Amino acid sequence: MKDDLFKWLGGLAFLNNVGYSCVWPVTTIYMHNQLHQSLVLAGVVLLCYSSANVIGSIAAGSRFDRGHTFGLNLFGQLITLLAVTLLIFMHGWPSYPILLCIFGFGNGWILTLINSMGTRVKKYPSVKVFNQLYLAENIGLVVGTGLTGFIYEQGIGWLFVLIAGIYLVSLIIVGIKFAEVELHGECPVRQTVDASADLTGKRNLFVIIVLLLGLVVVWVMYEQWMSNLAVYLARFGISTGRYGMLWTINGILIIIFQLLLDWIGRYHATLDLQVILGAFFMAGSFMLLLFAAHYGQFVLAMVVLTLGESLLIPGVPAYVNRLSPVAQKGRGQGMVNAFSSIGKAIGPLFGGLVIERLGYFRLFAICTAADLIVGMMIGIVLLILRRGLQTYD
């Protein structure tokens, strides 16, 4: 892929996440308050949405490795635009959850293609590529969540008008800038596979599996901040508005941390430490929650969480890209997005069950231990196998 297209790829990442962040936050409240469905049913719909996202991610990654990049991009943009356009007029029951799942499929498809095309950027090292894409995605999340509350108050139809406009712009960018982009995996013919190469491939696969399983655990724990913490803060007299301010801080800090990581990455190879330390910092945020009782302490916990998030979340796709052969890079990124979606889907249900039976303190203790174990497992595996890994940067 031409290097000058990278900025447009970042633009697609930004727009896709603006659209995503306008839909996800209002789903539960809209279904419960406007469609008069139970919270349990809303949770089931979100689970179906995440499942569709997983299917879209895996399908797009597998198809990317076979070529026809422009057609795949066009398909993802069109199906997503069609879903949100229909939602402008058909946001009742049961059309809303059905179209929402189609949107989830398209969203997973698009995000996987963006990351997969990022694996073919030659101008920058993969660590920088994925850090920059993650930065663009999070700026999109900040913008989207900032717009959602105000526009939702005017009516959910207007919210879908905005989202449809966003995906129309995204479709135009794909049509103009990516029409001639044709990327596919290289599958050299090999008559024999020596034992050492086979062993190296198994080591790479094992590390990728450990990273993906760790990513699921990390997202399950991270979702507690997004789904259950607002209720916990209310116990201390902290309003929903001040809880929302924590996410504003999160968005600003992600930009600062990503710029700092980009600067450090110019002089030092950071990927191994980036992934391991990311898990430890995320564990540290939950450790702080164990003892937090004042708003300033929750702000500090959010700062630590954001640092960990900025290190680990873009670090995993960069590492998977490094260990994936050219012919399997799209599939690798599809699995990253799929496993992330699995963690996001499980997280709220897991947290609700633990809180109901054990309470918040033990939930935070479990989250602390889980993230620490993820960091230690990744560190041990990389320490043992790192010298025997084959890289494909």
User: Which tens digit of pLDDT belongs to each residue from 9-20?
Assistant: 889 999 998 888
Q: List, for residues 192-237, the tens digit of each pLDDT value.
A: 444 445 545 788 889 999 999 999 999 999 988 887 787 788 888 8
| DSSP per-residue codes, 67-115 | S-HHHHHHHHHHHHHHHHHHHHH--STTHHHHHHHHHHHHHHHHHHHHH
Average pLDDT on 244-263 reads 83
Most confident of 23-37, 327-341, 372-386: 372-386
What is the structure's pLDDT at 115? 85
List the one residue out of 42, 50, 366 whose CA is nearest residue 224: 366
| DSSP per-residue codes, 139-202 | HHHHHHHHHHHHHHHT-HHHHHHHHHHHHHHHHHHHHHHSTT----------S---HHHHHHHH
Dig out the tokens for 90 from the structure.
């058909």
CB 137 within 8 A of CB 11: no
Q: List, for residues 67-119, the tens digit of each pLDDT value.
A: 778 888 899 999 999 999 999 999 899 999 999 999 999 999 998 898 888 87
Alpha-carbon span 207 to 211, nearest angstrom: 6
Q: List, for residues 161-170, the tens digit of each pLDDT value.
A: 999 999 999 9
List the one residue out of 82, 27, 79, 26 whose CA is nearest residue 56: 79
Q: List, for residues 262-313, the tens digit of each pLDDT value.
A: 777 665 667 888 899 999 999 999 999 999 999 999 999 999 999 999 999 9
What is the structure's pLDDT at 123? 76
CB 119 within 8 A of CB 133: no
Q: Which is more confidently placed, 391 or 211?
A: 211
Q: Residue 168: which region, alpha, beta or left (left: phi > 0; alpha: psi -120 to 50)?
A: alpha
Arithmetic mean of pLDDT over the chain: 84
| DSSP per-residue codes, 329-383 | HHHHHHHHHHHHHHHHHHHHHHHHHHHHHH-HHHHHHHHHHHHHHHHHHHHHHHH
Confidence of residue 189 (pLDDT cuts 50, 70, 90): very low
> What domains are defined for the chain?
3-177 (1.20.1250.20), 195-388 (1.20.1250.20)
pLDDT at 186 over 60: no
Dig out the tokens for 185 from the structure.
């995996």
Q: List, for residues 357-367, the tens digit of each pLDDT value.
A: 899 999 999 99
b/e code 323-351 from CB counts within 10 Å (16+ = b): bbbbebbbbbbbbbbbbbbbbbbbbbbbb
